[in-house]
Amino acid sequence: MTPTITAVPCLRDNYAYLVHDGDTAWVVDPSESAPVIAALARLGLRAAGVLATHHHVDHTGGIEGLIAHFGTMPVAAHALDRGRVPAQSLFIDAPADRFIAADLTIAGCQVLAAHIPGHTRAAIAWYLVGADDAAGSGDAEGDVFTGDTLFAAGCGRLFEGTPAQMHSSLQLLCGLPVATRLWFGHEYTAANLRFAAAVEPGHTPIAVRAEHLASCTTPTTVALERATNPFVRARDAIELGERRAAKDTF
């Protein structure tokens, strides 16, 4: 089963997401409440819960506003973010080497979770899979919310993590089936591709992708990131760290 996912632009370049079925939706990374509430109203939906990928305020700043508007609802984040995500009530102790069941079903899909440190120490990926691929290891498509760990053609800054952690997290995400859709936290794709072209000049897939960008580039896919993301394509953690340092001043 493929869930209905609606991207909601927030702040300057953030994305929140609505995962919906029937008349309710779970909200992923609501950085502010007003545009999320407006999108829910436009679609005739009520918020039923929140999935947070990490604690940064540009991903959690709208949680309390949603609760004020709709009432108490579950808020899920990694267990290591206890005390850092507003109103967190579900503390998911996901490991960093695999996806595990998070004991949640959203829009008819089982929710799996994995710890993906690098950008922050408690970053978590939320993976929605159909009943036919509940182990998350088959060839079926799925949808993964990556927050600021993986962007289209990029990765997040290493605020609380190490190159080794980021390398492992990106390899875990991009070890999923190639058609898996990856929904990321910021619209940085054009700038990321300019950096990718500088890192791998003459690499045709990067140039082709840059020539065909839409204004909204989410979601990407595992296949696209394997082909064009310089951090996913880094040979090891050392090379990833060098590329991340270069991107910070690019």
Q: What is the per-residue pLDDT across 103-132, written as a single tens digit (0 to 9) for each?
A: 999 999 999 999 999 999 999 999 999 755
CA–centroid distance for 224 within its chain: 15
Dihedral, CA atoms, 18, 133, 116, 149, nearest 10 degrees? -50
* Residue length of the chain: 250
Residues forming the active site: 54, 56, 58-59, 119, 148, 186
In this prediction, residues 146-153 reach a mean pLDDT of 98
Question: What's the pLDDT band for 6 if we cut at 50, 70, 90?
Answer: very high
Question: What's the pLDDT band for 136 if we cut at 50, 70, 90?
Answer: very low
Whole-number Cα distances in Å, 32 to 35, 39, 153, 157: 7, 12, 25, 22
Mean residue pLDDT across the chain: 95
pTM of the model: 0.96
- As a whole-number percent, the residues of the chain with pLDDT over 90 amount to 93
Q: Which domains does the chain have, with CATH numbers?
A: 4-248 (3.60.15.10)
Q: Residue 134: pLDDT above 80?
A: no
Whether 152 and 86 have beta carbons less than 8 Å apart is answered as: no
